[in-house]
Amino acid sequence: MKNRKSIFAVLLLAGLLLTTGCGKKSETLYVPNTGTQVQTQAPETHERTDTEMKASIDSLSDGSSILESYRSNEIAFSNEAKLYGMDSETAAQVTFKEGSFRCYVLNIKVKNTKRYDLTVQAVHSPNNGKDGVWVCGVSQYGLFDVTANRTADMPVTVLVDNNITKQDAVEQVLKSMNLSLEYTDLTDTSPGPGEAGTVEVV
């Protein structure tokens, strides 16, 4: 009887692990402007969307120096282009066709309302390439930590087709792109198991 109970317990545990997703998925991302990689770890539990984090578009500034670094290292940018959702043909225009693209730094105000730190893992832009604007899929620092009960400035690189000549036009496109941030509480200050969340950038 004990053996049967033990077998049943093992089977029950295995079933729970399968349904809750015990394994962590990992993904390799390239840190913009460096050519280096970061390993992101997906949280173990369910995704949530709530008021833990708030994000808003703050400002747009010139990023010409970043564009110059891309053009001086085509190999590194060929990897980073994936973060913009660019195909190889568009990426080649960035690096080889001078005057075809401009670069900006989008500053996103990120507010963490929790008592523990949160980490922004990714910037989601489902409409990348819309009207000639491409937003990088991670911040300029790669993973971006936001201290508990604090607001931080998160810089994100934006590449723009040179057909868009005015900065305010770029800002309008960005506001219509349905940007969102993916974040986790997988930090040393987190009180429990890590969970994932998404927040719209308004």
pLDDT at 88: 87
- Which pLDDT tens digit goes with each residue over 80-117? 889 999 998 898 888 888 778 999 999 999 999 888 88
pLDDT at 164: 85
pLDDT at 185: 80
> CA-to-CA distance for 10 and 192, rounded, in angstroms?
25
pLDDT at 52: 77
| Whole-model pTM over 0.75 | no
Decide: 105 and 63 in contact? Cβ < 8 Å: yes
What are the structural domain ranges in the chain?
25-200
Closest CA to 67 of 180, 158, 130, 191: 158
Residues of the chain with confidence (pLDDT) below 70: 1-51, 186-195
* E strands in the chain: 26-30, 37-41, 47-48, 53-62, 101-112, 118-124, 133-135, 144-146, 150-161, 180-184, 196-200
Token pair, residue 62, equals 């010139």
pLDDT at 76: 79
